[in-house]
Structures are given as structure tokens and as C-alpha cells.
Amino acid sequence: MSDVPIYLDHNATSPPHPAVLDVALPLIQEHWGNTGSAHSLARAPHAAVEHARGQLATWAGARAKDLVFCSGATEANNLVVLGASGRVLCTATEHPSVLEAVQLRGGLVLPVDGDGLLDLECLEEELSKGAGLLSVLAANNETGVRQDTETIYAMAKAAGVPLHLDCAQLVGRHEAPENWDYMTVTGHKAGGLKGAGALLRRQGLALQALSYGGGQERGYRAGTLNPAPIASLGVVATLSHSSEIKTLRDQLEAACVSLGARVTGAGAPRLWNTCNVVFEGIQSDMLVVGLDLEGVCASAGSACSSGAAKASGVLLSMGIDHSALRLSLGWSTQAQDIARAIEVLKVVVARQRALGSESWHG
């Protein structure tokens, strides 16, 4: 086994991209001033934040002044959902930062089909009853399933309901969706630093602050800005990735299928980097442990809840009552990594089957 692990958990977080380190390290080591100060040590970090604001706005097709930097995607999601007026709708496969906020608001969770796609008939019925916000995870962090955001936006617009898209998994990987009213982004899934996210909104749309005391971000989000992670988010928004990643993902997925796995969300459009598979009769947490012992880092479902002994809510909403293995690739993934990971998978899956591992139902 190599001393350097093969990292296949990019949907949880990714190693910093070299271009990110070039920009972020000087902001940590040299230009560490408070962006809100008036002296010379504040100028470089302030300029870095505003440059990142422009980079991200360009990617999203928005105005820079309509962007609010936050501590991450979770805070950005909370900002728009908890601050919305009226009834709030979301899908059953949302990230917990949206799902739990909607439930706290007494909102409605809409069903999905077996591939994880939003039930559009149900959506149409609920939109006709009126709502203050519809929140949709554009690309699911566990399965990689991508919603038909253009159709959803058209339906929401016809009903006069603002659409919020959680695009945490898209920045640095895909082009931004064209049509939305609010958008959440972060950068650490694709080479940025943890500790920064942003909420964007279209001109003129309402936004209610959840934190007070400082006046930062035009009064919508109080607290000292964190220049290095924010600058890294701007850099990530400018990155482009080779189509080779999709080829490598397809190779890995095909190998899993040859070992008896079932691909989650196979009938839906998916992120090019995400492989979510179910090995019937094998607990995915045991696969994760076995892979880790052989130097391959992966997740069972979502890393956000991987420490909890319960089935994934995303999978359950899709009618899947078995745990799943998530293998997610990124900018640092190489062909030799996938070749090695496939060989390790063969060994670990065979070992678990020999041990007679039983299905896990949570």
C-alpha cells in the first residue's frame, strides 16, 4: 500500500488547489489585516475579497453587489430559508442545512422519484397554493443527481415563487445554472479552503439578515470577513476541469457494477465526478473501513452524517433502504489512482462477501 492515500471523497471536501494556495497563503502569512480597518494592512485583504466577489459574480451571472459572503454554504442556506417570508418548499433530498431549516419553519418537503428527481406534478400542485420560497439542491452531494433546474425555475416563476438553488457542488466543476433567484455557493468541494461560502440574489429581491452587529456585507451578515477562504472561493469559480474526470468516474463505476453493485440515480443526469453505488448484502460502512485500511478514502452516503448510525435520508426518500458507498473524484484524481482503487475494491468487496456481511437497514 502506498503511503499517500487515494482520495475519493471530494464531495465532502477537496485538497487545496495550487492556484488557491498561491492566492490564499499570502493572505494568511503577510496580508492578515482586518478588511474593515482603514489602515494600510487592510488594503490587500480588502482588495482580495472584492476581487473574489467579482470572480464569483461573473461565474454566477450576477451583480457583485448582490453577493453576501458567509462562513460556508450552511450559513448561506440558513440565511435565505430562515429569512424567507411565507410558506417554504424544498425537496426530500436537500442538504440538512436546508431540510432542517425548512422543517423548523413548518415548510413542506416535496417527494422525489427513485432516481432522486423532484416530482414535478406534486411541485405544480403545491406551487398553485402559493409559497414564499422554493429551495432546490441543484446537484446532490450524496448521489450526484442533478435536478432539472430550468424546468423547475419556469414552474416557480409562473407561480410567482422565488427559486433558491443550492449550488455547493457545482462551483469549480460546472457552469452555473442560468435561471435562479437566490443561489448558495462554496469552494472547498473543488479545491478551495473551508470557511467561506456565499449567497447571491437577483437585483431587488428581499433578504433578511440573521446576524447583527458590525455592518459587514451591507448589513446582511455581521462578522469579520475571512479573506483567505473567500479569495479561494473566487479562484475556484475560475477553474475548469478536464473531461478526463468523467472518464475516470465511468471506469470506476463500471468496475463497481462488474462487482455486483447497483448505481444510485442511474436514470438521472449526475455530476461527472460522483459514483454512488449499493452493494447488496454488504454494509457500506464496512466497505469504507476496508478501503481505508488499504489506503483509499471514501464515504458511506454523506460525510455530514457519516458518524451517525442511521440510514441516509436521501436514499430513503428514493426508496432505497440500504446503505451506499460514495466515491467522488476531483481535480487531484489521477488515472493511476482509479486503477489502484479498482484493485482495492475487488479485494475489499470479496473479503466482505466472504465474511457474510448482512444488509444494513439503519
Active-site amino acid positions = 304
Long-range Cβ contacts of 198-201 (<8 Å, 24+ apart) = 198/56, 198/67, 198/68, 198/69, 198/70, 198/76, 198/233, 199/67, 199/68, 199/70, 199/76, 199/79, 199/80, 200/56, 200/57, 200/60, 200/62, 200/66, 200/67, 200/68, 201/62, 201/66, 201/68, 201/80
Residues 6 or more apart from 263 whose CB is under 8 A from it?
A: 253, 256, 257, 275, 276, 277
Give the side-chain half-sphere CA count within 13 A for 281. 11
In eight-state DSSP terms, residue 65 is: G
Residues 6 or more apart from 34 whose CB is under 8 A from it?
A: 42, 45, 224
Residues 6 or more apart from 19 whose CB is under 8 A from it?
A: 191, 235, 239
277 DSSP β-pair partners: 263, 325
Give dist(CA 158, CA 161) in Å, integer. Answer: 8
Residues 6 or more apart from 187 whose CB is under 8 A from it?
A: 20, 171, 172, 193, 196, 197, 229, 232, 233, 234, 235, 236, 237
Give dist(CA 65, CA 142) in Å, integer. Answer: 32
